[in-house]
Structure 1
Amino acid sequence: MGLFTDSYDLFCIPPIMRLIGRRYYDNPDPNKRYEVPNPISSTMVAVSLLGTVIGKLVFGHLGDLVGRRRVYGLALMLMVLSSVGCGFSICTSQACVWSLGFFRFLLGVGIGGDYPLSATIMSEFANKRTRGAFIAAVFSMQGLGILVSSTVTMVVCTIFNAGTKPPKDQTPPEADLAWRLILIIGAIPAAMTFCWRMMMPETAGYTALVEQNVLQAAKSMEKVLDVSLSQIAEDSEFPPNPPPPFYPFFSKEFFHRHGRDLFSCAAAWFLVDIVFYSTNLVQTQINDKQFKDKLKVNVYEDAFNVAKFQAMVALCSTIPGYWATVFLIDRIGRVRIQMIGFSFMALALFAIGIPYSNYWYKNTKNIGFLIPYGLTFFFSNFGPNTTTFIVPAELFPARFRSTCHGISGAFGKVGAIIGSVGFLWAAKKNKNGEYDPTRMTIALVLLGGVCIVGMIITYLFTRETVGRSLEENEKTKPKSFVS
C-alpha cells in the first residue's frame, strides 16, 4: 500500500495540472490552449523528484541506523500529512502552484523514504526461492496506483461535470475543489496502512545481524511465520561462520567488496529513469494530438481525457509488464530480464524516433504508433524499472542494505529529473504550441541510445541474485572493476 500511494500521488498530477491550468491560466485568446506555462510545470515536476532524492538518501540511511520498522511509519505519516497539505494548498490566483509545490516537495521526501524501506523489509522477510516475486509484487502496486489515480480523477470530473455543466470557455470556481479532492483521496489508503506498519515486527535480518539480538530475531520470525520456535530452521548452504569484520560505509573495504555492485545498481537505475520519465514527452504530444479539440471541451472533460489515456496505458502495457516480472523473475533471473527490458525499450524508441518527424508526427492517432509506444512501458516494467528496485535490496549486507538501496534510487531520481525536465527543455515547443518534430526525433533516438548503454552496463557489472540467500550474496565477492 505504500508503493500504491507513492504511485497515486506521483501520477495524478498530469490531469490535475490541466484543471489548475484551466482554473488559473485561462488565456483570453480563444485560439490558444489552456495550460500551465512550461517553466512552472517543469518546476512542479522537479521539486517533487528532488524531494524524492532527499527522502531516499535520508530515510535509507536511517533505516540502517535505527531500524526499518521505526522509520517506516515516519515515512508513511509524512506522505499522509503532505497529501492532505497538497489538497489544502493556499491558492490566490496563480500563486497556487507555489504552495502546491512546497507540499509536493514534502510528499516527495516521504515517497523517497518509502522506496528503500519497502524493498529492504520485503527482501528480509521473503525466502530465497520467491524473494524476487514478492519484491516485484510490492513494486507492481505502482501500476495499480496509476490506474486508481486515473479512475478517481475520471469519477470526480464526471461528478463535477454532471453537477455544473460549465461551458467550454469558462472554468467554474468548483474546479478548484475537484483537484483538491483528488489529492486528498490519495491520503486515505496510506492512513489506513499506518496501523499495520506500526504492528509489523522488525525484520529478523536487521535484528540478528545489525542489532546482534538473535533471540529477538527468532521471536519475530515465530510471529511472522505463525509457527513454533522449534520449527524455524536455518536455510543456508554455508556452514555457520563468525560475523564478518566491521568496516564503515566510507572505507576502502566497503568499496572493494561492494563498490561494483553499488555502481551497477545506481547506474542502471539512473539510466532507466531518464527514459521512463522522458516518455511523458511523448504522452503529452499524444494527448495534444488525440485531444486537439480540447478547446471545444470544458475543464472537466479536458482532465477526464488525460486521465482516460493514462488509464489505458496502465491497463494495456504498464500493469502487464509489472506482473510478467512477478511471474518470471525467479525463473529466468534479474540480469536477463533487465537486459531484455533495456534492449526492447531501445528498439521501440528507435521505431518511434527515427521516422518521427517524417511520419509519426502526423499519425500519432494511428494504432501503429501506439503499439511501440506501449511496448516501451511494457518492457520498462518487464525489465529495468522493476529489477532496479529489486537488486539493491538483495546484494548488500544488512547493515548497509537500506542505505545502498536509497543511494541507488537517489541516482535514479536524478535521472528522472534529467528525463522529465531536461528533455522537456530540449524538445522545445514551436510557435503553434507543439513540440518541434526534429527535436523530438533527436530526443527519442538519444533515449534509445541510453537504453543501449543500460544494457551494456547490466551485462558487464550486474550480478545475478536469483536462487541465492541474502547471506550468500553478501559472502560472494563480485569481480573487481579491472577484471
Structure 2
Amino acid sequence: MAENIHRHHHHNPTNIGMIGVPHGPETGDDHLSMRGVPDKADEERIMKQLIYPDDTHTPDGTYWADLPFGQQMKFNASVDNAEAAKELKAIGSMTKKDPLSPIAWYFRNAVLPGAGLGLEGYVLFSIGNLTPLFSAAWPTCWKTYSDCNRTWVEAVQYLEVCGIIVGQILVGALGDGIGRRWGLIQDALIMFVGLLMLVASWGTTLNGWVICYCWALFFYGIGVGGEYPMTATAAMENATGSGRISTRDDRLHRGRKVTMAFLMQGWGQFFNQVILIILLLCFHHGSGNPPYSKVSAQWTFRVSFALPAVGTLWLVYYRYYKMPLASKALNAAKKRSSVTGYDMQSLKLTCNHFGGRLIATAGAWYCNDVFFYGNKLFQSQFIAVLSPGSKSIMTGWLWNLVNVGVSLCGYYLASFLIDIKFVGRKRMQQLGFLMDFVLFVVPAFHYKYYALETSHIKAFQAMYFLSSFFNQFGPNSTTFLVAAEVFPTPVRASAHGFSAAVGKLGALTAAVLYNYIDTQTKFYVVPWFGLAGMIVTFLFLPDTTGLDLKEQERRFTYIREGRESEYHGIAVHPRHLSIWERLRGAGKHYDPKLDYSSKVNDLRTEWAERQAERMDSEEGIGNEVDEEFPREVHDYFAQTTNVKAAISEKKQRHQPSSSSASASDEISNEKVSV
C-alpha cells in the first residue's frame, strides 16, 4: 500500500530495496563514470543496496531469519512500525489534499481486483439463501418432492460444486497456457451468460424448471471456478511485477494485496443477503412473514440474479479494455524460458520438486471446505436452535447477516496480519484449523448442554460465530493465498486451480454427509477435518511470509537449468521450507556468502539481456538508465559487462551438455560496446 500511495508524492528514487527511478546524470565524485573501472570495493558498495534491502537484511547483510529470535522480533517490529508510520503519513497527506482519495485507492487496489470474487460470492451463497424461500413457496417441489424429482432438487447443490471444480481445473490450465488476461475475460463472460440463464430459467413443469435451474448453476459454476486461480495469480503478479528485481511492496505487502481481493467474497455474501431482504420486502408487500406467494418468490430470486448480471457485464468491459498487462509476469517468465503455450516442463518439475506443497495446498483446502461449506449448510439447524418454532424466512436471513458480518471481521484481520512475520500465513492457517476443531468438538460431546438447554444457548451461539471468524481469519483466507504463492509463475494458475478443485471436493463431501447424518453427528464428524488440516499444514506447508517471491522464481530457474545444487539463496532457507522439505534436504545448500556472488552474476545476465533487447529495438542504451535497475547498478554493469558474452553464457546453460559452472569470469572483465 505504501509504495502505491507514495506515487502521489515525491520520494527518493534510490531508496534501498525499491526499484530505481530514472533520473539525470550525477556529477558527484562517487559517480562511476568519473572514476574509471570499478574495483571489488565498488561492487560491494553498489550491489549490497540491491541484494540486501534494508527491510529484509541488517546493515551488515544478515538476513532477518538468520538472526536470533529476540533480534528477529526487534528487527521486524522496527521495519513494520516504520512502514506503518509511512503509510499513515501518506494517507494523511492524501486525505488533506482530497478526503475521498483513500477510498479511491481502496477501490483500485481491493475492489476492482476482487470484483469477480465479490460477484461469485454474491451468487454462490445466494443458492443456499434462496432454498428456504423455494421450500416455502413450492413445498410440493422442495419439501415433499411430489411434483419434483428429489434427485434433481438435491442436485442443485451438487451440480453447482461440480461446475466450480471443472472451472478451477480447466481455466487454471488455460490461464497458464493462453495468459491471465484472457482467463479473466472468459471467466467474466461465462459468469455473465450463466446469470442470464439463471434469470431466464423456466420449465413447463416445476421439475423442468428445477432441471433448467441446475444446469444454469453448473454453467455459472465453471466461471466461478476459474475466478479462483485467475484472481489469485493476477493479484499476486500485480504485486510482484514482471521484472527480476524485487520491490519493497512485494516483500512487505504481497499477502495483503491478495487477501484484500479475496475478502470481496465476503462482501458479495453480505450484499446478497441485504438485497434478498430488501427484494422480499418489496415484492411481499412490506412483510417478511409467511405465507409467501409464488409471484413474490419469482420476482425476488430473478431480480436478485439480474442485478449482478449488470456488474458482471461491466467486469467483462473492464478486464478487456483496462487490464492489458495482466499477463505481463507470465509472458516474461515464458520468454526467459523460451516457452510458448503451456509449459509442460515446468509442470513436471513442479510435481517432482514441489509435490509436498501440492499436498499442503490441496489437502488443507479440502479440510477447510468441509468446515466452510459445512458451516453454511449447517446454518438452518443452528438458526432453528436460536429461534425455535420460527417459520419466517426473514429470521434466518437476519441471523445469516450477523454471521456474514462476523466473517468479514475475520477476513479483514487476516488481511492486516498476514504479512507480519511473527504471525504469517502458516501460523494463521494452523491457528484457524485448531480453533475450528475446538469450537466444533466441544458442543459435539456436550450437545444437549449447549444446544438444547435454553440457559446455554448463548454460549452455543458464540462458538458458532467464532468458528466463522476463525475460519475466515485462518484457512479460508490463507489457502487462497498460499496455493498461488508457493508455486512458480509458469504453472501458478494450474496449481492453484488443482488445489481449489480438491478443496471443492471437501464442499461436496460436506453436502453429501449432511444429507445422511443428524445434527449431533455432524458435530462429531466435522471437527476432525480441522485437526487433519492443522497436521497437513504443519508437515507440508512452507512459510513464505517475508520471502522475496523473486527469489523463489530464481530458485526455480536454477532447477529448470539442472543446477539446483548451485542455488544458495533465501528460498531454501529453513524458515521458508516445510518440515517435509527440510527432511528431504532441500535446505542443505543455503549459504548467504556463495549466494551473493551468484546473485551478482544473475543480475548481470538479466541486465545484459535487457540491454540487448533495447539495442535490437533501436532504443539504444547510451547513458539512459535501465528503469529496472538503480542508476549506480546500471552504471556498474555498463562498465564491467560484455553483453554478448553474458547472453552466450546463459544460452550455454540451457543446452543439455552445458556445464553447471558459475558465470564466466570474462563477463565481468570487458566493458560493453555501445
TM-score range, shorter chain: 0.7 to 0.9
**1:106–1:361 Cα change, 3 Å:** farther
Which of 191, 213, 220 in structure 2 is aligned with 1:107? 220
Which of 295, 307, 311 in structure 2 is aligned with 1:173? 295
Alpha carbons 2:130, 2:301 under 8 Å: kept: yes
Residue 468 of structure 1 deviates from its aligned partner by 1.7
- 1:55-84 Cα distance to aligned partner (Å, 9 max, x none): 000000000001000111110111111012
Per the alignment, residue 81 of structure 1 pairs with: 193
Per the alignment, residue 376 of structure 1 pairs with: 467
Per the alignment, residue 52 of structure 1 pairs with: 164
For the pair 1:351 / 2:442, whether they are aligned, the reply is yes
SS at match of 1:330: coil
Residue 303 of structure 1 deviates from its aligned partner by 3.4
The residue identity in structure 2 corresponding to 1:207 is N
**1:333–1:341 Cα change, 3 Å:** same
Alpha carbons 2:163, 2:221 under 8 Å: kept: yes
- 1:397-418 Cα distance to aligned partner (Å, 9 max, x none): 1111000000000000011100
Q: What is the 5 A alignment of 1:344-423? A: 344-363=435-454, 366-419=457-510, 421-423=511-513
Alpha carbons 2:360, 2:537 under 8 Å: kept: yes
SS at match of 1:369: helix
Per the alignment, residue 225 of structure 1 pairs with: none
For the pair 1:276 / 2:372, whether they are aligned, the reply is yes
Residue 351 of structure 1 deviates from its aligned partner by 2.1
Q: Structure 2 CA distance, aligned partners of 1:407 and 1:23?
A: 39
Residue 350 of structure 1 deviates from its aligned partner by 1.3
Q: Structure 2 CA distance, aligned partners of 1:418 and 1:364?
A: 33
Per the alignment, residue 207 of structure 1 pairs with: 331
Between 115-124 and 305-314, report the one with greater CA deviation: 305-314
Which of 234, 237, 249 in structure 2 is aligned with 1:121? 234
For the pair 1:150 / 2:273, whether they are aligned, the reply is yes
Residue 173 of structure 1 deviates from its aligned partner by 2.7
Per the alignment, residue 31 of structure 2 pairs with: none
**1:33–1:82 Cα change, 3 Å:** closer
For the pair 1:313 / 2:403, whether they are aligned, the reply is yes
**1:195–1:95 Cα change, 3 Å:** same
CA RMSD of aligned residues (A): 2.8
Q: Structure 1 CA distance, aligned partners of 2:146 and 2:276?
A: 19
SS at match of 1:54: helix
Which of 124, 138, 141 in structure 2 is aligned with 1:24? 138
Per the alignment, residue 58 of structure 2 pairs with: none
SS at match of 2:515: helix
Q: Structure 1 CA distance, aligned partners of 2:398 and 2:297?
A: 18
For the pair 1:426 / 2:538, whether they are aligned, the reply is no
Residue 366 of structure 1 deviates from its aligned partner by 2.2
Alpha carbons 1:48, 1:105 under 8 Å: kept: yes
Residue 473 of structure 1 deviates from its aligned partner by 2.6
Structure 2: tracts of 5 or more residues without a match: 1-114, 240-249, 556-570, 585-674
Alpha carbons 2:289, 2:394 under 8 Å: kept: no
Between 460-469 and 108-117, report the one with greater CA deviation: 460-469
Alpha carbons 1:207, 1:213 under 8 Å: kept: no
SS at match of 1:313: helix
- 1:203-260 Cα distance to aligned partner (Å, 9 max, x none): 431121124499xxxxxxxxxxxxxxxxxxxxxxxxxxxxxxx862563x43231111
Per the alignment, residue 9 of structure 1 pairs with: 123
Residue 175 of structure 1 deviates from its aligned partner by 2.2
Alpha carbons 2:117, 2:265 under 8 Å: kept: yes
Per the alignment, residue 261 of structure 1 pairs with: 357
The residue identity in structure 1 corresponding to 2:154 is S
Alpha carbons 2:148, 2:207 under 8 Å: kept: no
**1:182–1:37 Cα change, 3 Å:** farther
Per the alignment, residue 319 of structure 2 pairs with: 197
Q: Structure 2 CA distance, aligned partners of 1:304 and 1:156?
A: 11
Q: Structure 2 CA distance, aligned partners of 1:104 and 1:335?
A: 34
SS at match of 1:426: coil
Alpha carbons 1:56, 1:407 under 8 Å: kept: yes
Q: Structure 1 CA distance, aligned partners of 2:148 and 2:271?
A: 24
For the pair 1:460 / 2:557, whether they are aligned, the reply is no
Residue 24 of structure 1 deviates from its aligned partner by 2.3
The residue identity in structure 2 corresponding to 1:100 is Y
Q: Structure 2 CA distance, aligned partners of 1:403 and 1:257?
A: 16
Per the alignment, residue 159 of structure 1 pairs with: 282
Alpha carbons 1:465, 1:473 under 8 Å: kept: no
Q: Structure 2 CA distance, aligned partners of 1:470 and 1:279?
A: 34
Q: Structure 1 CA distance, aligned partners of 2:538 and 2:259?
A: 21
Q: Structure 2 CA distance, aligned partners of 1:387 and 1:325?
A: 8
Per the alignment, residue 327 of structure 1 pairs with: 416
The residue identity in structure 2 corresponding to 1:161 is H
For the pair 1:135 / 2:258, whether they are aligned, the reply is yes
Residue 456 of structure 1 deviates from its aligned partner by 1.0
* TM-score normalised to structure 2 length: 0.60
Residue 324 of structure 1 deviates from its aligned partner by 0.4
Residue 467 of structure 1 deviates from its aligned partner by 1.6
Alpha carbons 2:361, 2:479 under 8 Å: kept: yes
Per the alignment, residue 443 of structure 1 pairs with: 522
The residue identity in structure 1 corresponding to 2:326 is E
The residue identity in structure 2 corresponding to 1:323 is Y
Q: Structure 2 CA distance, aligned partners of 1:37 and 1:349?
A: 34
**1:335–1:34 Cα change, 3 Å:** farther
The residue identity in structure 1 corresponding to 2:353 is R
Alpha carbons 1:363, 1:369 under 8 Å: kept: no
Q: Structure 1 CA distance, aligned partners of 2:540 and 2:137?
A: 50
Residue 424 of structure 1 deviates from its aligned partner by 1.3
The residue identity in structure 2 corresponding to 1:176 is Q
Alpha carbons 1:153, 1:182 under 8 Å: kept: yes
SS at match of 1:248: helix
Q: Which has the higher contact order (CA 8 A, sep 6+)?
A: 1
Per the alignment, residue 174 of structure 2 pairs with: 62
Per the alignment, residue 93 of structure 1 pairs with: 206
